Amino acid sequence: MMSPSAVTKRAAPVLACIGLLAVWQVASLALKNDSFPTAIEAIRAIPDILGDKESLINILASLRRMTIGFGIAVLVSIPLGLLMGRSRAVAAFFNPLLMVIYPVPKAALMPIVMLWLGVGDITKTLVIFLGVSLPVIYHSFEGAKAVEEKMLWSGAAMGLSPLQRLVRIVLPAALPEILTGCRTGLVLALITMITSEMIARQSGAGNILFNALDMGQYDTVYAMIIIVGAMGICLDAVFERVRARLVRWSEPQFDMPLSFS
């Protein structure tokens, strides 16, 4: 049996979604604008998109690029961030570089990258990679920096070499912080995925959305927005499951059921 407060907690996100859709429905009916379909019309359009082979291939291609970009970014950024956190020399070298790249919207780099690498998968994956890297590097860096010196000394006394200490003490100790960075990175990957496809319109979920807009199929536009949003929520929920499992040992902390970052 769940307590009443637990039921409320479970039901709250669902109620919020229903509330949003209801407001949408009412607003759309009131405005009677062709470019603003009702929520029910948009939701009805979803099976059409997901049933269409072409669209499905496009969406899967998007997800593939996102997965590759995210994966490579995580594999590169975590070691780099950890090294920066434990070595002042490495941090001094990379910090200025990252400071320059950080505030630049990664989509703004698209035109330049397209000139060099074309409008294909490589360009889009690279932009996703850039978008994900920075928060992961930053959080890995902060996490590694915060590792207690005495914990490393304890490891050193047991005979761990500097590299072993980095992999077997700094990495697990910084893991909660690293995964926070990865979670932000995941959401950014989804955002950059769509933006990259808006700019280099060739294939992908972003492309479907903009093609529909060009052709005035507004219910498809809104349906795509719902699909992208749902993908974000699912990815985040799965990641949060994994994260919670990996860092069960760390302090319990207040957490929103959904991420809106």
Partner 1 sequence: MRNWRLFGRFLAKLVPLMEDIRQTGCVTFAVSEARDGMKVVPSRSSEWVRPVTSQKPASAIIEIDRVSQVFQTSARREHLALSDISLTIEEGAFVSILGPSGCGKSTLLYIVGGFVSPTSGAVRMKGQTITGSGPDRGPVFQEFALFPWKTVLGNVMYGPRQQGVRANEAEAQSRALIEMVGLKGYENFYPKELSGGMKQRVALARTLAYHPEVLLMDEPFGALDAHTRTRLQNDLLNIWERDRKTVLFVTHSVDEAVFLSDKVVMMSKSPGRIREVIDIDLPRPRRRNELLLDPRYQKYVVDIERMFDESDEAGSLS
| Closest approach of partner 1 to the CB of residue 169, in Å | 7
| Closest approach of partner 1 to the CB of residue 152, in Å | 9
Crossing angle between the packed helical segments 39-51 and 218-246, to the nearest 10 degrees = 80
| Closest approach of partner 1 to the CB of residue 172, in Å | 5
Pick 92 or 151: Cβ nearer partner 1: 151
Intra-chain end-to-end CA distance of the chain, in Å? 33
Pick 51 or 159: Cβ nearer partner 1: 159
- Interatomic CA distance for residues 102 and 108, integer angstroms: 12
- Name residue, tokens 């919020």: 16
- Interatomic CA distance for residues 102 and 130, integer angstroms: 9
Tokens at residue 240, please? 């949060």
> Is residue 191 classed as helix, strand or coil in its secondary structure?
helix
- Determine how many CB atoms are found less than 10 A away from the CB of residue 18: 11
| Closest approach of partner 1 to the CB of residue 82, in Å | 15
| Closest approach of partner 1 to the CB of residue 168, in Å | 9
Binding site for partner 1 (CB under 8 A): 148, 150-151, 153-154, 156-160, 169, 172-173, 175, 247-251
Contact 73, 129 (CB under 8 A): yes
Pick 158 or 225: Cβ nearer partner 1: 158
Pick 29 or 151: Cβ nearer partner 1: 151
